[in-house]
Amino acid sequence: MSDQPLLDRPVTRRAVLVGGSLAGFSAFLAACGTQGTASSPTPGQTATAPPAGTPAATSAPPTTPPVRATYSTELNWANWCCYLDVDPADKTKWKTLEDFKKKYGTTVNYKEVIDANEGFVATIANQIVAGQDPGWDIITVTDWMVARLIRLGWLEKFETANMPNFVANVRDVYKAQTWDAAMAYHAPWQTGMTGIGADTTKTGEITSVKSLFEDDPRWHGKVEFLTEMRDAIGLSMLALGLDPRTPTRDGADKAVALMKRAQAAKTVRDVKGNAYTEDLAAGVAVLVMAWSGDIVGLQAEAPNLKFIFPTEGVMFWTDNVCIPKGAVHKGTAELLIDYCYVPENAAQIEAGVAYVTPVKGVQEIFAASADNKALATDPLRFPPAGLEPKLVPFGILSDEDETYFNEQFATVIGD
């Protein structure tokens, strides 16, 4: 695949790793510079890209788009759990949203209603097909789902002229996705990794993703898999020495067989979505497929837990904010997305969300701050340069393959 040119790009000492690709999901990675080192312009940048050589360290000044009369006083945003910063002063509120509301006089109806891409999109599909208001102005979905929604024509096109911060501050590696080369339908929200979460005091040292499928008395009955098909099949393929960048039906069969074998041996306790964190924190699961940001959150209550980068690699993905077709408050949605691309605002979000930010300049803001200095070197927020070849995005699936993969995987989930 065509990820070589990207991988060859110079990577500096404090390189920040971000996700993205040239050929859809099949490539990823780049580095952006530090302290005045300009990030290399990505080959094939689009017209909306910021001027080449914009220093990442000195982020673009937070420009405020003019408040237009078309902005609504209402905005509806559907997101996943734990994907926004809680207001330290009032735990019932989201700080960034409060700031936004105050600044623009809108109300934001923000709901953590998404638990799985398919399940969530099912709740808006009927409305979109019927040409009605889908109920949300912003939805947050993983990149493969964005690609599908674009293909179906279910997303509104951004008015990028009204989103100067987004255009200026999105990191270069996110650009030039084949399914949205102009970045007119999606704005990256967070990038994350799917690897192993383990209580290493119970499991001992874990290095290989193969451990998830081995029946070992130390974790017998205490293993959990994820319900996201690409994460579970992806990690299983890595364990089998297959490459999830180029998924095949044969690979899916083998991956599913591997998981089913572990289930039949009663190694596996459960297959879950976000809820695996509960079992991990309670200690009833000790070795799980895990999302990187979750483990950071869990460490506060269970310091034994570690996020492990298996030697075979981790699955690498990006969740994006999009505007669904028929959204009533499109202009305000663009305003909010743009607001989150102001580096200072992105840093505030990032301090509360332990994933990889798509916004330039956040690491520098952390490095310069008094309270959040440690975050600038957090490997889960800013994965170190050496890991790049191990960050594996799941390849693009055709509709037929998607159905096939899902059908096979359904036997693992049980539904």
| Contact positions vs another protein (CB under 8 A) | 78, 81-82, 86, 91-94, 110-113, 115-116, 118-119, 122-127, 129-130, 132-136, 152, 220-222, 263, 268-275, 277-278, 281-284, 297-298, 300-301, 412-415
Q: Take residue 309 and report the two structure tokens written for it.
A: 């980068």
Closest approach, Cβ 217 to another protein, in A, equals 8
Q: Are strands 314-322 and 138-142 parallel, antiparallel or unpaired?
A: antiparallel
Task: Please say which residue, 149 or 187, places its beta carbon nearer to another protein.
Answer: 149
Task: Please say which residue, 127 or 160, places its beta carbon nearer to another protein.
Answer: 127
Instruction: Give dist(CA 3, CA 246) in Å, integer.
Output: 13
Closest approach, Cβ 214 to another protein, in A, equals 16
Closest approach, Cβ 78 to another protein, in A, equals 7
Instruction: Give dist(CA 162, CA 166) in Å, integer.
Output: 9
Q: Take residue 196 and report the two structure tokens written for it.
A: 């192993």
C-beta separation of 136 from 78 below 8 A: yes
Closest approach, Cβ 296 to another protein, in A, equals 12
Task: Please say which residue, 159 or 407, places its beta carbon nearer to another protein.
Answer: 407
Q: Are strands 74-80 and 138-142 parallel, antiparallel or unpaired?
A: parallel
Task: Please say which residue, 35 or 403, places its beta carbon nearer to another protein.
Answer: 403
Amino acid at 400: E
Task: Please say which residue, 294 or 364, places its beta carbon nearer to another protein.
Answer: 294
Closest approach, Cβ 408 to another protein, in A, equals 12
Instruction: Give dist(CA 76, CA 91) in Å, integer.
Output: 20
Closest approach, Cβ 410 to another protein, in A, equals 8
Going by C-beta distance under 8 Å and a sequence separation of 6 or more, which residues neighbour residue 153? 325
* Placement of tokens 């596996």 in the chain: 268
The candidate with the shortest Cα–Cα distance to 31, out of 2, 7, 58, is 7
Task: Please say which residue, 82 or 168, places its beta carbon nearer to another protein.
Answer: 82
The alpha carbon torsion through 107, 113, 115, 116 (nearest 10 deg) reads -90
Sign of CA dihedral 156, 162, 168, 170: negative
Task: Please say which residue, 50 or 135, places its beta carbon nearer to another protein.
Answer: 135
Closest approach, Cβ 231 to another protein, in A, equals 15
